[in-house]
Amino acid sequence: MTEAQEELLSELRETHGYKTQTEVVMDALESLAGRSSASFGSKLSHGVEPHEREEVMRKVIATASKVDEIIDKHGKNDSQLIQILLEIQREYNWLPKEALLWLSERLGVSINRIYQIATFYKAFSLVPRGRHLVRVCMGTACHVRGSMTLSDRASQLLNIDPGETTKDMRFSFETVNCLGCCALGPVIVIDGEYHSKPSTPELEKLLNECA
């Protein structure tokens, strides 16, 4: 175990009054391995390979620590669940499984309920998202104004289909329904910025500006 991991374990142990450091880790691992619902599935439910163990521990402890920070900020109260999930989403750009399992453990909220919320709201992603989110509106108004062509052009430039993420994790590409600015259609949103009917060179430039 590295020094950084030791430190992290001690911190968690003191914060939450666990008797041993192992208890902290085992709690997290048990959550990850034993409580993975069918909704998530997990290779850990079939046991952790020895060579994977340190990496899993490191990841679980680091994530648990970050989730604790977020819970402390919002209060350990299940009425704050959506706010906490939004902040985890902002932190990681998606909702990692170990973060949700630890959240379930800390708030005493079932993992199924967390999963239901995470799948209901479009703002949440249960798969890793790229650093930049590109969304094309496919609502009726945008559709009649050519959103299909815009989506195809974005797809070509990014070299992925809607719902996919580039291998370098730079972009995720999604299609969405009406964004509430139909007069601007067809609309593409890049990292929250709305762009009205960009030409192909304009679109290429916008995408190139994303580091």
Residues that bind ligand FES (CB under 6 A): 137, 139-142, 178-182, 185, 187
Return the half-sphere exposure (C-beta side, CA atoms, 13 A cut-off) of residue 198. Answer: 21
Q: Please identify the residue of the shown chain whose CB is closest to the bound ligand FES.
A: 139
User: What CA–CA distances, in Å, run from 178 to 66, 76, 138, 142, 143?
Assistant: 34, 35, 7, 8, 10
- The least distance separating ligand FES from the CB of residue 141, rounded to whole angstroms, comes to 4
Q: Which is nearer to ligand FES, 116 or 140 (CB)?
A: 140
- The least distance separating ligand FES from the CB of residue 202, rounded to whole angstroms, comes to 18
Cα separation, 64 vs 105, in Å, equals: 10
Q: Which is nearer to ligand FES, 109 or 184 (CB)?
A: 184
Q: Which is nearer to ligand FES, 71 or 206 (CB)?
A: 206
- The least distance separating ligand FES from the CB of residue 190, rounded to whole angstroms, comes to 15
Q: Which is nearer to ligand FES, 104 or 147 (CB)?
A: 147
Return the half-sphere exposure (C-beta side, CA atoms, 13 A cut-off) of residue 202. Answer: 8
Element (H, E) at 195: strand 193-196
- The least distance separating ligand FES from the CB of residue 151, rounded to whole angstroms, comes to 12
Q: Which is nearer to ligand FES, 157 or 182 (CB)?
A: 182
> Tokens representing 51?
């060579």
- Of 111, 50, 119, nearest in space to 89 by CA: 119
- The least distance separating ligand FES from the CB of residue 168, rounded to whole angstroms, comes to 29
Cβ contacts of 9-16, under 8 Å, gap ≥ 24: 9/61, 11/65, 12/61, 12/64, 12/65, 12/68, 15/68, 16/68
> Tokens representing 185?
């259609």
